[in-house]
Amino acid sequence: MPPPSAHRSAAVALRGPTLSFVDDPFQAGDEAALRYEPDGLIIIEDGLITAAGSHAALRGQVAPEAVTRYPDALILPGLIDTHVHYPQTQIIGAYGAQLIDWLNEYTFVAEQQFADAGHARAVSRTFLDECLRAGTTTAAVYCTVHPGSVDAFFEAAREYGMRMVAGKVLMDRNAPAALTDTAQAGYDDSLALIERWHGKDRLHYAITPRFAPTSTPEQLEAAGALWRQHPSAYMQTHLSENQAEIEWVKQLFPRRADYLDVYDHYGLTGPRSVFGHAIHLGEREWQRLSETGSAVAHCPTSNTFLGSGLFDFARARQPQPPALPVRTGLATDVGGGTSLSMLRTMGEAYKVGQLGGYSLSAAKALYLATRGAAQALYLEDKIGSIEAGLEADLLVLDLKSTPLIDFRMKHCQDINEALFVQMIMADDRATKAVYIKGRLAYSRD
């Protein structure tokens, strides 16, 4: 082993209880999938985790003065939000409508303001600040139809050093004139944005048709062609969120077998495609999502707030053989969703599961917000776990963030119960610190 001095010049470390996943708890079981270190050490150099394990085993690899201690907390991978609309931050909590009416009454009105680049810059920073305050370090983000809304977002994300997926919304029908493009203009704008941003620093571009009803067949065809030309990019859209929406899709695309088949027909399924909601799916659609390597984003607070329906955890993650699981991540879907806190989103996912006859454990919920979400985004080789070689995006969670939680934690029997208490009772107040590639990016204190 090299002398300690060889490790001390650049390495820093975090010490405290750590928790991450080494497997999928939906398949392997919670105990086999979860790795918990009561006294852990995470060593970081040049933004990457170089070692992670028990403090006793690793303490000789880093100078004591380079260690930051968090003894009364829990160090987790940074949380990942797989479906969120940053322009809708300003309409979170808008009252009283289901999906289509909500879009027309609130969303489309707010999004027209993003023609103003200054407004887009200001909201981008507010959104990213709130992500950090909630412990979210990566998100798959919808911008607006305006290319400037994407530029503003990526400029801010690059300044913050965050790994982000985002794209310009494509809409060439069934939306206000101020928010529509054309098939050709949407293609051209998206291509220019891909060339400007995709793969730069920690940024990824997502080709983003809002949903089938707001894109003509010509626009969907152009989106598919663009993705074939740039297959390392992402594709994100909405799928089967609302029954009225599904009926509308049937009317607009009568020759397609079902909602997913619309996207499939135009080449918009496959690795790095992320379909938001995916509530009312038929078995053919589930099978096709699985076999194409597509992912779905579960948005529990949005689905209950807009009265859309209940996500089928059992079919998505633990289907009966020979059916296979579908890559699944958790998502806030702000502003249809009611909070940017992934902890609160995990708690609402548990309630959705209960209403649908599925008991979602704390380990499974946290997996969907960390390693599982990273796998949904095909980023598990970079983020989502605490292991050597991955980027040091980390959340330090205060396990006693309120007096009531402090009291409740004294009666927890094990880490699983403690996790469940946090996901049911905690919120952004529990975010003690957030590290982005090993740099302290947020500190509550």
Residue 131, C-beta contacts closer than 8 angstroms, at least 6 positions apart: 81, 137, 139, 162, 340
Low-confidence ranges of the chain (pLDDT < 70): 1-10
Q: What is the pLDDT of residue 7?
A: 41
Quote the tokens at residue 376: 């949904």
* Sign of the alpha-carbon torsion through 107, 140, 349, 393: negative
Q: What is the pLDDT of residue 96?
A: 72
Residue type, 26: F
CA dist., res. 126 & res. 130, Å (int):
6
Residues constituting the chain: 445
Are 73 and 86 found together in one domain?
no
**Counts for the chain of helices (H) and strands (E), in that order:** 20, 17
CA dist., res. 250 & res. 255, Å (int):
8
Which helix (H) or strand (E) segment holds residue 298: the answer is strand 295-298
CA dist., res. 81 & res. 90, Å (int):
18
Phi, psi angles (nearest 5°) of residue 284: -60, -40
Are 149 and 264 found together in one domain?
yes
Name the 3-class secondary structure at 142.
strand
Rama region for 186: left / alpha / beta (φ>0; ψ in -120 to 50; rest): alpha
The bridge status of strand 163-167 relative to strand 203-209 is: parallel
Tell me how crowded residue 301 is: count the other CB atoms within 10 A of its CB: 25
Are 60 and 94 found together in one domain?
no
Give the tens place of pLDDT for each residue, 323-348.
Answer: 999 999 999 999 889 999 999 999 99
Rg (CA), the chain: 21
143: domain CATH number is 3.20.20.140
Q: What is the pLDDT of residue 43?
A: 98
DSSP letters of 54-91? EHHHHGGGS-GGGEEE-TTEEEEEPEEEEEEEGGGGGG
**Residue holding tokens 């707010």?**
110
Are 242 and 370 found together in one domain?
yes
**Residue holding tokens 């209950």?**
304
Domain end point (choices 376, 407, 434): 376
CA dist., res. 298 & res. 104, Å (int):
23
Contact of 103 with 295, CB cutoff 8 Å: no
Domain end point (choices 376, 402, 431): 376
401: domain CATH number is 2.30.40.10
Q: What is the pLDDT of residue 101?
A: 84
Q: What is the pLDDT of residue 10?
A: 67
Residue 325, C-beta contacts closer than 8 angstroms, at least 6 positions apart: 26, 27, 290, 316, 317, 318, 319
How many domains in the chain?
2
Domain end point (choices 319, 344, 376): 376
Range of the domain at 222: 79-376
CA dist., res. 153 & res. 125, Å (int):
8
Contact of 206 with 165, CB cutoff 8 Å: yes
CA dist., res. 125 & res. 101, Å (int):
28
Which has the closest alpha carbon to 232: 201, 207, 261? Answer: 207
Residue 265, C-beta contacts closer than 8 angstroms, at least 6 positions apart: 256
Are 212 and 227 found together in one domain?
yes
Q: What is the pLDDT of residue 9?
A: 42
Q: What is the pLDDT of residue 5?
A: 41
What is the CB-side half-sphere exposure of residue 194 using CA atoms within 13 A? Answer: 20
Are 98 and 192 found together in one domain?
yes
Q: What is the pLDDT of residue 3?
A: 40
Which has the closest alpha carbon to 99: 300, 308, 309, 276? Answer: 308
Contact of 342 with 330, CB cutoff 8 Å: yes
Quote the tokens at residue 381: 């080789």
Give the tens place of pLDDT for each residue, 100-131.
Answer: 788 888 888 999 999 999 999 999 999 999 99
What is the CB-side half-sphere exposure of residue 254 using CA atoms within 13 A? Answer: 1
Helix residue spans in 116-198 (DSSP H) = 117-134, 147-160, 183-197
DSSP at 103: I
Are 230 and 361 found together in one domain?
yes
Are 345 and 220 found together in one domain?
yes
Are 360 and 394 found together in one domain?
no
Are 134 and 241 found together in one domain?
yes
Q: Write down the pTM of the prediction.
A: 0.96
Are 241 and 334 found together in one domain?
yes
Are 200 and 323 found together in one domain?
yes
